[in-house]
Structure 1
Amino acid sequence: MATTYRNPVYPDVMADPFVLHHDGVYYAYGTAPGAPDGRQVPVLRSTDLVAWQPVGHALLPIGETHYWAPEVASHEGRFYMYYSAGSQPEGTDQKLRVAVADHPAGPFVDSGKLLVPDRTFAIDGHPFRAADGQWYLFYCVDFLDATDDDRVGTGIVVDRLVDMTTLAGEPRIVVRPHEDWHVFRKGRAMYGGVYDWHTVEGAAVLCHDGRYYCFYSGGAWERDNYGVSWVVADHPLGPYTRPDGGHEALLMRTPKGGALLGPGHNSFTTGPDGSTTWIVYHAWDRAQTGRRMCIDRLEWVDGRPTTPGPTWTPQAAP
């Protein structure tokens, strides 16, 4: 087993990485090109979070051309992949869907259901199970109204899952873009208008000391302002409050003079020791040839999450 690692931990494109730990094995899913046979969503396998082997593509295609941000939940012996799919290059027609499999590596077969049928755009589904067993789905939608200090753009909401393929239809706002570093693109033509578009996306939730931390990635995914911050609540449905110091990405951002750009869209998993928490995220290389999977340890200091990442030098392995 490796004693050190160095980011990225996998050489090929693996954006929006999500890691599922099941029966002692880690499975990673991400946004990346499909296979020659049309299957989507590459799957990697590891026992230590450092050495990863590809095991093929897991999702049977449904006729769309763009598949984004898969995350997988295990429930009562089956596996549920939440993902979005659409055909437009800018992704403005992305619909949130769920596919089902009997094994973490698939094949996943789409359920045929749209999770948020009344939205023209819904992405980044993040399933979260609370301590009482109730499942919730965090996901992203667009907001065209500017209220208080909330900006126009993409934000995160949460809804209760009635079952693993059905939402209650009562979404609550978790966080909307509200800082200058959340800008995605100024003067963006959207929905028949032109907006200074801001984005927060890629929810990942942890429960710590009885409170629920929703981590998010803000900014432009293809630029160096992309980074990770959080909001916190006493219940998965909120209300969520912002921590102090949110004028910059609090958990992770592009380091000055570093080898990695735009770290973000993360998930969390427990290390092989069963106790440490690891953040799994993507980052660009300096030449921006691709977003690749990275890992770093997450710790809590004075009640706040912290990580040394993004790291690009040798680190102690999980």
Structure 2
Amino acid sequence: MIKTFLTSTTLLLTATLFAQKNPVITGNYADPEGIIYGNKYWIFPTYSAPYEEQIFFDAFSSSDLATWTKHSRILENSNVKWAKKAMWAPAVLENKGKYYLFFGANDVHQGEIGGIGVAVADKPEGPYTDLLGKPLINDIINGAQPIDQFVFKDKDGTFYMYYGGWKHCNMVKLKPDFTGLLPFDDGTFYKEITPKDYVEGPFMFIKDGKYYFMWSEGGWTGPDYKVAYAIADSPFGPFERIGTILERDPEVAVGAGHHSVIKVPNKDKYFIVYHRRPLGKDGANERVTCIEEMKFDKNGHIIPVKMTFTGVKYPLK
């Protein structure tokens, strides 16, 4: 189930034509999670800065994909007692009237405190408070650093989380209140589902009954960062790599990756929200957030996305 969480069936259907441009928001922001809450598009990104400065999250909302409102410091590490530095890669969703923000913190290694946390708020723009007072996942399991989490609600209402850096991806089953993990049917709590060439940044959605699993490859600080995908009949996979759908373009930008996907309600229209590195920029944190339309061929395969400076048009045809 792709994460739109709609409360309106008439989202963004009436307006004059606006021209979106890439990047869509000002400043260095990366790892964007895009979602629709009510009648607005939202982007929850990483504030892209050195780890000691990357200690808060901003959010951005828009009703037309062109004009974005900044919601500053919706969560700060001062409100997460165990997070000392390097908060990044938020994953967001609404459940039972509450808004949840999962995040990575502290660039954790084995024996250290850090990993994946979860915060909750009454509104999309927060303020968010730490739900647990400790990490949801702290340990290194199956070689996967506990970062880059994506929370996925399956067709039966089960919540799964896919996560992992260091070229390993795990899958866990979440309690409905997100306070911990539940065992799978075989009694285990972690399943490694790493596809070929996976590095980090997992994402999942359902289209036409199929499970589309996506991830980033390459190094996030370099020009060859890119997005690949697989299609499976189950949220457990197996996820056989099909191909690359987003990568560097020497005429536009490099380092394109760590994305999310938004489906427009009541339309067969999908957007990919991602970060890239502008030409001429080679600093590790010089990353900007962009949006493009993502299309499929007659076989359901994702057509490679061409990066642009113009992005998508509104209203949506």
Equivalent-residue separation in structure 2 for 1:171 and 1:202 (angstroms): 17
Q: Give the aligned partner of residue 8 of structure 1.
A: 23
Q: Give the aligned partner of residue 306 of structure 1.
A: 303
Equivalent-residue separation in structure 2 for 1:82 and 1:265 (angstroms): 15
CA contact (8 A) 1:73 1:80 kept: yes
Q: Give the aligned partner of residue 20 of structure 1.
A: 35
Q: Which runs of 5+ in 2 are unaligned?
A: 1-15, 184-188
Does structure 1 residue 210 correspond to structure 2 residue 209?
yes
Cα deviation, 1:149-172, whole Å, max 9, x if unaligned, reads xxxx42222111122232225222
CA contact (8 A) 2:54 2:88 kept: no
- Give the deviation of 1:298 after TM superposition: 1.1
Equivalent-residue separation in structure 2 for 1:101 and 1:220 (angstroms): 33
- Give the deviation of 1:224 after TM superposition: 1.5
CA contact (8 A) 1:48 1:271 kept: no
Q: Give the aligned partner of residue 109 of structure 1.
A: 129
Higher RCO, 1 vs 2 (CA within 8 Å, ≥6 residues apart): 2
The more displaced of 284-293 and 271-280 is 271-280
Equivalent-residue separation in structure 2 for 1:88 and 1:273 (angstroms): 41
Equivalent-residue separation in structure 2 for 1:283 and 1:38 (angstroms): 18
Q: Give the aligned partner of residue 247 of structure 2.
A: 253
- Give the deviation of 1:231 after TM superposition: 1.9
- Give the deviation of 1:313 after TM superposition: 4.6
Describe the shift of the 1:33–1:217 C-alpha distance in structure 2 as closer, same or farther (beyond 3 A). closer
1:86 to 96, 106, 114: 106
Alignment partner of 1:240: what SS?
Answer: coil
Equivalent-residue separation in structure 1 for 2:235 and 2:108 (angstroms): 32
Equivalent-residue separation in structure 1 for 2:247 and 2:204 (angstroms): 18
Alignment partner of 1:287: what SS?
Answer: coil
- Give the deviation of 1:49 after TM superposition: 2.3
1:73 to 58, 71, 93: 93
CA-atom RMSD in angstroms:
2.6
Does structure 1 residue 136 correspond to structure 2 residue 149?
no
Equivalent-residue separation in structure 2 for 1:42 and 1:118 (angstroms): 27
- Give the deviation of 1:271 after TM superposition: 3.3
Q: Give the aligned partner of residue 239 of structure 2.
A: 240
User: Aligned letter for 1:312?
Assistant: F
Q: Which runs of 5+ in 1 are unaligned?
A: 142-152, 180-198
1:295 to 267, 291, 299: 291
Task: Give the structure-2-normalised TM-score.
Answer: 0.79
CA contact (8 A) 2:223 2:277 kept: no
Cα deviation, 1:31-60, whole Å, max 9, x if unaligned, reads 1169xx997101111112232121211114
CA contact (8 A) 1:277 1:297 kept: yes
Task: Give the structure-1-normalised TM-score.
Answer: 0.79
CA contact (8 A) 2:274 2:290 kept: yes
Does structure 1 residue 154 correspond to structure 2 residue 176?
no
Describe the shift of the 1:202–1:314 C-alpha distance in structure 2 as closer, same or farther (beyond 3 A). closer
Q: Give the aligned partner of residue 255 of structure 2.
A: 262
Q: Give the aligned partner of residue 145 of structure 1.
A: none
Q: Give the aligned partner of residue 316 of structure 1.
A: 313
